[in-house]
Homo-oligomer: A and B are copies of this chain.
Amino acid sequence: MTEQAKAARRDGRPRRKLVMSEILEQAMELFAERGYDGTTLQDVADAVGLSRPNLYNYVRSKEELLVAMVEATSQEAAATLRAVRERTDLDPAEKLRTLVRILVLQRAAHPARFRTLDRSEQSLPAEIAERHLDARRAVLAEITAVLDDGVTAGLFRPVDTRVTALSVIGMCNWVAWWFHPSPAHPAEPVADQIAENALAMVARPEGRTPDAPTPLGAAALLQQDLDYLVRLLRGEADAT
């Protein structure tokens, strides 16, 4: 390959990604407005400003659009979350903060795409629906795993980690239902607040963290709380 061809390829890939992203965005808007069945590839080509043959360089069918949408939304999220969960330089609290920020920022950047994908679930071809569902399950599994790690390490309260992971996902997903991207409403502060909320939701109240996540540490907590109970009961007894 010549240097020129290499340069073109280097330039070409980001451009291809950009055009594909624009195609997806426009397709999602059309699906949202007219429904999946009411939208043609010609409509998509018109909306993006491409000729139909040119559009064919990117997608060859509406079904391919759905596959790309699922890949760019749920599957990409699942892969990113997995990479964060596997990092060894972050503790479970830092992982949870990072995961929540990623989910919120993705939904805030493409709310229409996310909602349309959700609303199209019924019309997704079985194979694509399965991939989407797998990705949703993977997102749940990653967040549940981080919560489990945090509880075991004594950083998080012993919550029902599945229901709590679904609470976290609900907080993040709902952003696509209420956030309207605009320069006046940046997504960053929203992502920060929701990440802080998720952490507060599972954090052990200060002072309740055992020194080490060992049965002995847990027993020490029990001892302290037992003393506290006795003090309260003694106070009540004294008052009567």
Contact = CB atoms under 8 A, between A and B. Distances in A.
Interface stretch (A47-55, A65-73, A85-93, A151-159): A151-159
A117 interface: no
Contact of A205 (B207, B215, B218): B207
Given A32-B122, A167-B171, A158 B228 contact: yes
Contacts of A226: 222
Contacts of A144: none
A214 to B, nearest CB: 7
Interface of A: 32-33, 35, 118-119, 122, 151-152, 154, 157-160, 163-164, 166-167, 169-175, 177-178, 189-190, 193-194, 196-198, 200-203, 205-208, 213-215, 218-219, 221-222, 224-229, 231-233, 235-236
9 contacts: A158-B228, A163-B189, A164-B193, A167-B174, A173-B174, A208-B225, A214-B232, A218-B228, A221-B225
Given A122-B32, A173-B170, A208-B205, A193 B228 contact: no
A230 to B, nearest CB: 9
Contacts of A177: 118, 170, 173
Contacts of A203: 200, 205
Name A's interface SS: helix
A174 B163 contact: no
B174 A166 contact: yes
A235 B149 CA distance: 11
Residue of A175, A197, A207 with highest tally of chain B CB at under 10 A? A197
Contacts of A233: 215
Contacts of A225: 208, 218, 221-222, 225
A152 B235 CA distance: 8
Contacts of A219: 229
A129 to B, nearest CB: 15
